[in-house]
Amino acid sequence: MTPDAATLAQFLSAIHPYDAMEPAALHTLIDAFSVQSFVAGEDVYALGKPLDGLFVVFEGEVEIRDEHGVPLSLLGPRNSFGERGLLRDGTSVTSARAVVDTILLLLPARQFHQTMQGDPTFKKFFDRSRADRPTKADLATTRVEELMARSPLTCAPDTPVQDAARLMRDAHVSSICISDSETLRGIVTVRDLSGKVVGNGLPFDTPISDVMTPDPVTLTPSAIGSDVLHMMMERRIGHVPVTQAGQLVGIVTQTDLTRFQAVSSAELVSEIARSTSAEEMAKVTARIPQLLAQLVAGGNRHEVITRLITDIADTATRRLLALAEAALGAPPVPYLWLACGSQGRQEQTGVSDQDNCLFIDDSMADADMAYFEALARFVCDGLDTCGYVYCPGDMMATNPRWRQPVRVWRDYFAGWIKTPNPEAQMLASVMFDLRPIGGTVRLFDDLHAETLAKASANSIFVAHMVSNSLKHTPPLGLLRGFATIRSGEHKNHIDLKHNGVVPVVDLGRIYALQGQLTPANTAARLDAAMAAGVLSASGGQDLRDAYDLIAETRLDHQAAQVRAGQAPDNYLSPTNLSDFERSHLRDAFVVIKSMQSAVGHGRGMLG
């Protein structure tokens, strides 16, 4: 049955982004929608055809397919489609067909573009671009929820002051919040204990409520950092509780503000460069999660954050090489330490193991290998001490296989390209991400160019690499859902690394191989592929936007874990996302699946 105007208004008012629009703008937009009906099996639109506008499923189901007929999505009521084509050149980049009898709402293309220009809420939802994010971390742009400690120390009002003091001592904090059923009643600081209790000679069994500052000034999580600073300066206080709906949810201290403003990648790099042992470096690298959370809070782009974090790992590696040479003596022949994996691509996050190898000059004698074995052990052990845990797959210079003269490495690459069996595909994938870290760079330059040329010229090898790159698939389920992990520790979560970031990393590597492009960084590879014509501008930008969103969602997730006092990981529960976030994340996965389909059908570009 065709919905009337009232039903249509009620339906759209419950869907994001329409539910967040101003009432007048929403009513104008609702009036522009028309109703269209399709019988089961009928095409809504075909690939490459002009789009009439944005579609919203009111009733029924619509299947979206890519240019090769591969199903991408099965959409049910409340789901939108068609915006990708409208935001490009107005033509469809997919095909759509009604699976059952279906009723769709159509917002004409003209009204869609007008609303994109005039309503920021609408634009934010349908435009995947992340270019409008702030790029500098400062107190004026950082919300209190990014700064606060989320589990402030608390005690009941009748707690003896001595017991409260012991709680503060054991927790290594300078304040304690007095709460009653999570409702904030007051706050006591170290200064209160010294001035009011010790200074006035009060008994140690005095209730903490007798010396607390009652009903202290507070801020909400949505306040900004400069609000905290101004409040502290005006009222001459060093602790600001954070409350929401009357409930205590956190606390910000002067130390938090100082730490936020002081921690930088440059500071960590400087301290590591002056360290005299791996243990000293470990104290510095332990602050990387805090740096990550700060960089995310400041709205920095993911490639900036991961580059800065990787720079710290690079510095630690080079410092360990220097310490190794100081302990072992000068190397008998030139060598080059290289990183692969996320460090090689300059894409490290708060969770990183080590992947590395050692190239040794061909002039080495057999007796020289003992020196390089000791050097590899010194550096890899040091990296593990610093938190870069040993590679589970033993892809490290401590493995004799990955500590060889250049001539052996040349044979490795030649063999993998000539006989691309599954192991060769895996190893080639890792080794195409190599990046020199410390030593004699010339040992790698010729081999890198030579390998790229041979690999790209071997169509069988490229085909095998393409097949290998499609093994990691986006976690797409039916009806706009996600295919979550079914069992184990991370049940009902999605793996943002292996099913989100890695598929794009694999695609970027294929484009680099096809175009003989030298960058190892994924974002740089995508940009270079578009510049070289390996990727079309439209398809490449879609993939770049999808990658940006997934990579930044991953970092947002890790930063939230750090702020909550948890170890960062890559496993996200979709239930922690808003409707807006789920919609965009799933759209990003659909783009990746489309690009995988294009590559799998022998095409390097989409659209």
Is 567 within the bounds of a domain?
A: yes
Distance of alpha carbon 115 from alpha carbon 96, whole angstroms? 24
In a 3-state reduction of DSSP, which class is residue 102?
Answer: strand
Retrieve residue 143's tokens: 């919300």
Give the pairing of strands 175-180 and 154-155. parallel
Judge if 437 and 291 occupy the same domain. Answer: yes
Retrieve residue 202's tokens: 């009060």
pLDDT at 282 over 90: yes
Is 408 within the bounds of a domain?
A: yes
Last residue of a domain, one of 242, 260, 278: 260
The CATH number linked to 202 is 3.10.580.10
Quick one: pLDDT band at residue 134, thresholds 50, 70, 90? very low
Judge if 249 and 284 occupy the same domain. Answer: no
Quick one: pLDDT band at residue 137, thresholds 50, 70, 90? low
**What is the per-residue pLDDT for 500?**
94
pTM, to two decimals: 0.70
pLDDT at 206 over 80: yes
Q: Contact, 391 vs 355, CB < 8 A?
A: yes
Peptide linkage before 17 cis (omega within 30 of 0): yes
In a 3-state reduction of DSSP, which class is residue 336?
Answer: strand
pLDDT at 557 over 90: yes
Tokens 């930008």 correspond to 541
Q: Contact, 252 vs 242, CB < 8 A?
A: yes
**What is the per-residue pLDDT for 409?**
95
**What is the per-residue pLDDT for 587?**
87
The CATH number linked to 333 is 3.30.460.10
Is 194 within the bounds of a domain?
A: yes
Distance of alpha carbon 361 from alpha carbon 132, whole angstroms? 48
Which is more confident, 268 or 550?
550
Phi and psi torsions of 220, nearest 5°: -95, 160
pLDDT at 607 over 70: no
Which spans in 216-340 are helix H? Answer: 225-235, 254-262, 265-273, 278-285, 288-297, 302-328
Q: Contact, 411 vs 445, CB < 8 A?
A: no
Which spans in 20-69 are helix H? Answer: 23-32
The CATH number linked to 567 is 1.20.120
Number of domains in the chain: 4
pLDDT at 268 over 70: yes
- Across 477-492, average pLDDT: 82
Among candidates 544, 545, 514, 535, which has minimal Cα distance to 607? Answer: 535
Judge if 279 and 371 occupy the same domain. Answer: yes
List pLDDT tens digits, range 558-598.
999 998 889 999 999 998 888 778 888 988 998 999 899 88
The CATH number linked to 63 is 2.60.120.10
If one counts every other C-beta atom within 10 angstroms of the C-beta of residue 352, the result is: 20
**What is the per-residue pLDDT for 262?**
53
Quick one: pLDDT band at residue 292, thresholds 50, 70, 90? very high
Is 78 within the bounds of a domain?
A: yes
Distance of alpha carbon 245 from alpha carbon 151, whole angstroms? 17
Quick one: pLDDT band at residue 549, thresholds 50, 70, 90? very high
Q: What is the dihedral sign for C-alpha 260, 265, 270, 276?
A: positive
Is 357 within the bounds of a domain?
A: yes
pLDDT at 604 over 50: no
List pLDDT tens digits, range 509-528.
999 988 888 888 999 899 88
**What is the per-residue pLDDT for 138?**
62
Distance of alpha carbon 204 from alpha carbon 200, whole angstroms? 11
Phi and psi torsions of 298, nearest 5°: -80, 0
pLDDT at 135 over 70: no
pLDDT at 118 over 90: no
pLDDT at 530 over 60: yes
CA dihedral 278, 283, 288, 291 (to 10 degrees): -140
Q: Contact, 240 vs 252, CB < 8 A?
A: yes
Judge if 186 and 273 occupy the same domain. Answer: no
Last residue of a domain, one of 126, 156, 173: 126
Quick one: pLDDT band at residue 469, thresholds 50, 70, 90? confident
Which is more confident, 135 or 452?
452
Structural Rg of the chain based on CA atoms: 29
Mapped to the 3 state alphabet, what secondary structure does 427-463 carry?
HHHHHCCCEEEEECCHHHHHHHHHHHHHHHHCHHHHH
Is 26 within the bounds of a domain?
A: yes
Judge if 500 and 589 occupy the same domain. Answer: yes
Phi and psi torsions of 53, nearest 5°: 160, -160
Last residue of a domain, one of 229, 260, 291: 260
Distance of alpha carbon 179 from alpha carbon 327, whole angstroms? 56
- Across 447-469, average pLDDT: 87
CA 558 to chain centre: 7
Judge if 65 and 205 occupy the same domain. Answer: no
Question: Max CA-CA distance within the chain?
Answer: 86
Judge if 274 and 246 occupy the same domain. Answer: no
Q: What is the mean pLDDT of the chain?
A: 87
Judge if 267 and 393 occupy the same domain. Answer: yes
Quick one: pLDDT band at residue 603, thresholds 50, 70, 90? low
Judge if 488 and 532 occupy the same domain. Answer: yes
Q: Contact, 75 vs 479, CB < 8 A?
A: yes
Distance of alpha carbon 448 from alpha carbon 460, whole angstroms? 20
pLDDT at 186 over 90: yes
pLDDT at 141 over 80: no
Please tell me the total number of residues recorded for the chain in this structure.
Answer: 607
pLDDT at 384 over 60: yes
**What is the per-residue pLDDT for 605?**
42
Distance of alpha carbon 334 from alpha carbon 467, whole angstroms? 37
Judge if 394 and 299 occupy the same domain. Answer: yes
Distance of alpha carbon 392 from alpha carbon 395, whole angstroms? 8
Judge if 345 and 422 occupy the same domain. Answer: yes
Among candidates 478, 447, 489, 467, which has minimal Cα distance to 573? Answer: 489
pLDDT at 602 over 80: no
pLDDT at 131 over 60: no
Q: Contact, 232 vs 191, CB < 8 A?
A: no
**What is the per-residue pLDDT for 82?**
87
DSSP labels, 157-185: TT-BHHHHHHHHHHHT-SEEEEEETTEEE
Range of the domain at 507: 470-600
Is 545 within the bounds of a domain?
A: yes
Is 136 within the bounds of a domain?
A: no
Which is more confident, 128 or 247?
247
Distance of alpha carbon 607 from alpha carbon 605, whole angstroms? 7
Judge if 402 and 505 occupy the same domain. Answer: no
If one counts every other C-beta atom within 10 angstroms of the C-beta of residue 140, the result is: 11
- Residues whose CB is less than 8 angstroms from the CB of residue 389 and which lie 6 or more positions away in sequence, other chains included: 353, 354
Distance of alpha carbon 599 from alpha carbon 470, whole angstroms? 9
Distance of alpha carbon 258 from alpha carbon 225, whole angstroms? 11
Q: Which of 12-26, 161-175, 349-363, 423-437 is predicted with the least confidence, judged by mean pLDDT?
A: 12-26
* CA count, 13 A, side-chain hemisphere, 290: 20
Give the pairing of strands 71-75 and 53-59. unpaired
Q: What is the dihedral sign for C-alpha 224, 228, 229, 235?
A: positive
DSSP labels, 144-159: HHHHSBSS--EE-TT-
Distance of alpha carbon 87 from alpha carbon 116, whole angstroms? 10
**What is the per-residue pLDDT for 132?**
46
